[in-house]
Amino acid sequence: MDDKARAEADLLGLQRLGHRLKLILELEAHEREARFDLARPGSELALDDQSARPYQVSHLVGHCLALSLDALLGAQFVLQDPADVNGVRLLMSAPFPLLRTAMEAGALAMWVLMPDARDQRLERLFRARWDDIVSDDNLALAFTEFRDSDSREDVAGKNRLRRENTKHVRRRKAALRGAMDATSITRAAVELGLPGFGPLMAQTAPSLGIDPNHAHGLWRTVSGLTHPSASRSILASSVEYQHSSEPGVSRAFLTARPSLLNSAVEAGLLLPWHVLRRVAQLGDNPAVEFVVPAGFPPPPPPRAA
């Protein structure tokens, strides 16, 4: 791509990004004003909740929706710049942890809701809950890891905390297994936990009309930008090489690439949008679905005509 084509692509990316940031505010207004019930009595989702009690599907999905919206609003806050002609502030790293959260929360909710069969939805719900227990256990172990510098009192205290945590984890696992045993879901299937958020993105992509490899790759790119990776930062940036008078030395000016930010925002926004559509179907409540308000301007084209 030559410099002119790259400049045109960046401008179009800025325009689309500005449009998506405004759409995030419309999504917030929808979720704030609708005050909707995700699972109306007698709906498929309500029957899911009843079957999985006390680990309701609607509770997990509602949490994911709230988390994704919170992260999107955070990204909107850091990227919005009223003083700029396109209304966008280009930042190289700050938006990506937020956008990763939005993508992962939306992907988890969509993954749980995707199957048409109730047993499959319940299995995925229980797998997510089991994964929570295992992750919380690992967190407790990290806080009580033994060190060479530990005193006898330190070791005794950590052992006491670990014993208490082990009892707590066993109680949580027993409660979850009890709920599972009231269904046809097998323990072996549930104890697989989650497949990882990269595979989750790939598995949910077809329901969004997105290529699975593109979705997985985008998540990996965004995930990498939440860490101090020099190669990933260069990959995600527009690089302008500058003249250097020193032999063997190259100088470059890096700026955030609008197209990548735009793709990440679109993915973070598209997932909860489709989750709300799926919830509207399973929860028998059309008001849950997010519809772009009448009069809201259409997005700029994805590429120049």
pLDDT tens digits, residue range 263-294?
899 999 999 999 999 999 999 999 999 999 98
Quick one: pLDDT at residue 305? 43
Q: Among candidates 161, 118, 115, which has minimal Cα distance to 142?
A: 161
Burial environment of residue 1 by CB neighbours within 10 A (0 to 12, 13 to 18, 19 or more) = exposed
Where would I find the H helices in the chain?
Answer: 3-34, 44-52, 57-79, 95-113, 118-143, 152-181, 187-190, 197-208, 212-224, 230-235, 258-282
Distance CA 177, CA 250 (A): 60
Quick one: pLDDT at residue 74? 96
Neighbours of 148 (CB within 10 A): 4
Q: What is the pLDDT of residues 191-250, one digit of tens each?
A: 999 999 999 999 999 999 999 999 999 999 999 999 888 888 887 787 777 777 777 777
Cα 47–chain centre separation: 26
pTM, rounded to two decimals: 0.91
Domains of the chain by residue range: 3-117+196-288
Q: What is the pLDDT of residues 136-194, one digit of tens each?
A: 999 999 999 999 999 999 999 999 999 999 999 999 999 999 999 999 999 999 999 99
